[in-house]
Each structure stands twice: as structure tokens, then as C-alpha cells.
Structure 1
Amino acid sequence: MRESSLLSKEYQGDVRRDSLQLSPDNMFNNALAVMDNLVARATTRWTLEESKLFICALSKVKTRDEQGWIRLPKKDLYELFGIKNPSSTYLKKLAKSVVTKSWFEFVRSEDDWDQGFLVNRSKGDRWNIYLKFADDYLPLLDQLSEKFTQIYVESIAGMTHKSSYNLYLYLKSWGDPNFLQSEKKIPKAEIQKIFNLKDGQYWRNWGTDKARFHWADFEKYCLKPAIEEINAGVPGTSEIYIDHWEKVKKGKAVLGYDFFFTLVDKHGLPQ
């Protein structure tokens, strides 16, 4: 079943209409985060706000000092996160969560994998917070091969759904600028990982012999809002546009989804 990705009225009030506009002196204005595709596709337990802080730090990884600390000005983070009442306590807790939940699993194949904490320390002073990436993983962040993913901080800063961020980052990691349109199949077995679903989420009769994944609920409350929020950000600084998607079935059984998307520039035009 093919579905177009036009914005529906159902979500008009819940999505951004454009990428976030930052003040000219904000550190993250036009800031680009680049990572190995393995990092982009890795499973994390971060919330959306924690993910945004990670992207902010990643965009400044090459500015780290001799000890490996990356400086993130609090005033710029307040603007980026839309915090009207500045709170150092909020940023302290956010940084702590990024560290404690930064356990990454990099899987190349069933027998070729690596796992560990990607971010291992955080600290703060009156004006800034600081994050430090684990030395062993820095090559995945600043010594990139030809297989890498890049995103602008502003492109994800305005997102309100974690599912939007997850799908956006995953599809970006598979996008091919050599083709006008890219295609990526997501099999049924990968849905929980890619969208970071909790055990039992969108299942009926979870924990019983009658347990069944409820595809209609998943599409209504997770997939469609994610697609529409991603597309609502166009034109953005560096985005994708999901042209359409198809539910792949064999008889009545759902096998997964097929996404067709275009990499677009800041004017919403194909790259």
C-alpha cells in the first residue's frame, strides 16, 4: 500500500513549519554535525532533548581542547532549546543523562560489533557546559571514511517527536546524493530498534500467546507524525523529503516499510 507524504490537517498544529532560526552570534548557527554511518544507525536510549545536546556537541568536536573537552555556551543552548527561563540545573541534568545513557552498540554484522560509552564525562561552569567523547570512538566522529552522515543542528532543533529524529537520522545515513531519489527498506524486525520503541509498545495482548503488533496504532501515533514533521521542516538547512512510503505485505502479513526520499538543500531543492 503506497501512501503519499503530504501534510495532513491532523498534525498541522503539532509540527514545525520551518527550520529553527538562531541569532547570528549563536555558536550553533549553521553548525554541521558529521558522524560515521555506524553512529547514525546505532541504538541509543536518549530522549529527544538529550539527542539534540549530543548533536550540538558533535558539531563542535573539532574545537575540543587538549584534554578533549567540548565547550557549549549555556546562552546558546537556552536559545536552541527554546528555554525562556534559564536553568543551569536543567542543563546539568541533561548533560548527566547524555553521559549515563550514551551506551552505543555498533553492529557491522552478527560477528562484528563494538559497544561502549560514547560520551564519558561532563562538567560545567557559570557560562558553559562541557562534554567529552571517549577517545576510542573519536575516529568515528572526526576521522571519517566515505560512509558518513551529516546534519545541521538547526535541522533537528525544532523537532518535537523523538520518532522524527530517529527516522530522519536513519534515512539520512542511507541517502545517496548521486541519485535524485533514494530508497530504503525497513524490515519488520528493525522497527523497534530504529524507532527506539519500548517493549510492548503498540502491541495488543503483550506477554500472551495472542500478542500482535498493532500496525494501525504505530502508523497513527508514531510513523505518520514522524514523516510529516520531517517534511514540515523543508525548506531547512540540510534536510530530506520523504516523497512517499509503502507498507510491504505478503498476504495479510506485514513485512515492513519501503521509503522513497530525496536529499534537499536549504532551499528545498534536490541536492
Structure 2
Amino acid sequence: MQDAQVYKANALVEASYRLSLYEQRIILACISQVRRDEPLTDQKLYTISAQQIAEMTGTQLGTAYQNLKAASERLFDRRVTLHEAPNGQGSTRVRLTRWVQTVEYCDKEGAVALRFGTDMVPYLSQLTEQFTRYALADVAKMSSAHAIRLYELLAQWRGTGKREVSIEWLREALQLEDRYTNIRDFKRWVITPAIEQINEHSPLWVKWDQRKTGRRVSHLVFTFGEKARKTTQKPRQRKEQGKACEGNKSASGSIYGIPMEVINAQARPGESRDDAAHRILEKRRNNAKA
């Protein structure tokens, strides 16, 4: 599962739901198994084992085994409230549905198998626009479910480097209900730990600030970007690699010869810089042929 990717419709990223940390890990690990080259049906069974969870998260096998079993028993009852249709197909009625229709715990194998709910399938498969993609490894070692949710909301706007959300909307998305109603508690127990984990475990760095409406803090403003990639190569090796990759990403800040400022300006929400550069390049080529 080292290179596993998570694809979600933006409408699902912004949906209202609450999952525990291990419920999130089960759901995301199964989403990462959805094939991009074939349609997903509600009959497909996905399996994740305690051994895989332990390796993915860097936790003890015994701990993963116990938490996996407990989470699988709760997962069937977890609900999600959707406010939009997938693939930018316009608004939809507010839909309350379930993540899964079947959950099976395989005691001998220490594994969970699940089938996604029928209503969830369009939000996970055949996504052609308005979706968010990130590596499962980006969130694997996070120990806060809030950190995972916040990371997804930032990854959705990866190409812009900034996102502002109202506290009321974020509380609803996280389904906090009557918890952390005091803004100090909300920042202390939800936002600050989530930001710390994103900065520690993900490929993004994040800073945040608050905005007031009158005297009341009403919005949070997140500024973020890609961390510098670590390298252990010697200077000579880096120079040689740069020549080999000249047609792809240059040291001067461009991808496929397209300046980064152009890529950032034209990137769609949830679209990686590489994908945006490729789309811009293809558009230029098609315009040249016309």
C-alpha cells in the first residue's frame, strides 16, 4: 500500500460526518484500493488487515488488531450527510446515507472486509472533475481524525495555497455538535493539534490565522504549501539528475516548461501541480493544432 492513492469527490470531502481515527483508516485504506480503470459497484468487497494497518501507521500489531475489531463494529452505523452531487453535476437534495452496506470482521485473519453503500459509489469512482487526490501515506501516521479531515480540506485547494472557512461550517463538517463550543477549546483541542500533525506527518506545511466578524471570531484562514523535498544526493548527482529531468520539472520553477505562477493560477481545486501542468500543456497543444 506504499503508493496507494485516495480519490474522493470534492462533495464527499466537504460532507458532514464523524469517524474515529481507526474508522478513518479503514475507510481510506479501502478507498485507496478502488481501481481507476474499471467501474466501482456496490458489490465489490474490499479488505484491510491489522497487519497492513500496523505497517502503514507504524503502530504495534496488537494495538492495530484491537482497534480494527472495535472500529469495524461501529462502522456499519456511521452516517454521512452529502450536500452536492459528484462530478460537478449541480446541487442535490441533502442526502443522509451510510458509508458501507456490509462490514465483515474476519477474526482468524485479523482483517475487515466491507462493501461501500450504493449512494457512496458515485463519490468514489468514475470521477472526472471536482475531485481531490492525495497519497494514503500523507495521512497514515496521523493520530487525529480531525487532522485527516483538515488535511483533505487543504489538499482540495492544493493549487491555491490558501483556504478560508467559517468556523460554523467547519464545526458542521466535523459534526462536533455540542463539543468545543468555546472558541478557545475549539482551537486548543481541534485546530492546533490538527495543524501540528499535518506539519509533522504530511507533505504540506500549514500556517493559520483567524478573522473576526465584528468582535466574534468567525473564520479561520489557512495558508499552506509543499514542503521542500529532502535529498541525500551529492551535488554532482543532483546536477546529473537535473539534466535528466529537464523535460519534466526544472530547477527554475517550472513543470513541462510552464512557469509555476501560471500553474498555480490555473490549477483547479484538488488538482496537483503535475496534473495541472499536464492539463495546461495538452490544452496548448490542442489549441496549436486547431
TM over 0.5: yes
**In 1, Cα distance between equivalents of 2:55 and 2:222:** 33
Pick from 186, 193, 197: which aligns with 2:176? 197
**In 2, Cα distance between equivalents of 1:144 and 1:83:** 35
Q: 1:95-114 maps to which residues of 2 (within 5 A)?
A: 95-101=72-78, 103-108=79-84, 112-114=93-95
Pick from 173, 195, 204: which aligns with 1:240? 204
Deviates more, 1:31-40 or 1:59-68: 59-68
Contact 1:167 1:195 in 2 (8 A): no
Pick from 54, 58, 65: which aligns with 1:78? 54
Pick from 17, 21, 27: which aligns with 1:48? 21
Contact 2:16 2:174 in 1 (8 A): no
Q: For residue 33 of structure 1, what is the aligned residue in structure 2?
A: 6
Q: For residue 165 of structure 2, what is the aligned residue in structure 1?
A: 186
Contact 1:163 1:226 in 2 (8 A): yes
Amino acid at match of 1:45: R
Contact 2:6 2:28 in 1 (8 A): yes
SS in 1 for 2:124: helix
Pick from 113, 117, 131: which aligns with 2:98? 117
Gaps of 5+ in 2: 85-89, 232-252, 254-259, 261-272, 274-290
Q: For residue 132 of structure 2, what is the aligned residue in structure 1?
A: 149
Contact 1:36 1:145 in 2 (8 A): no
Q: For residue 287 of structure 2, what is the aligned residue in structure 1?
A: none
Contact 2:8 2:132 in 1 (8 A): yes
Amino acid at match of 1:230: I
Shift of 1:111: 6.3
SS in 2 for 1:174: coil
**In 2, Cα distance between equivalents of 1:106 and 1:190:** 14
SS in 1 for 2:3: coil
Amino acid at match of 1:94: A
Q: For residue 226 of structure 1, what is the aligned residue in structure 2?
A: 194
Contact 2:100 2:114 in 1 (8 A): yes
**In 1, Cα distance between equivalents of 2:5 and 2:168:** 32
**In 2, Cα distance between equivalents of 1:86 and 1:221:** 24
Residues 65 and 133 (structure 1), Cα distance of their counterparts in 2 relative to 1, 3 Å cut:
closer
Residues 105 and 195 (structure 1), Cα distance of their counterparts in 2 relative to 1, 3 Å cut:
closer
Q: For residue 19 of structure 1, what is the aligned residue in structure 2?
A: none
Aligned CA-pair RMSD: 3.0
**Structure with greater Cα Rg:** 2
Q: Which has the higher helix share?
A: 2
Contact 1:95 1:131 in 2 (8 A): no
Q: Relative contact order: is structure 1 or structure 2 higher (C-alpha 8 Å, sep ≥ 6)?
A: 1
Give the fraction of aligned pairs with identical amino acids, expressed as a percent.
21
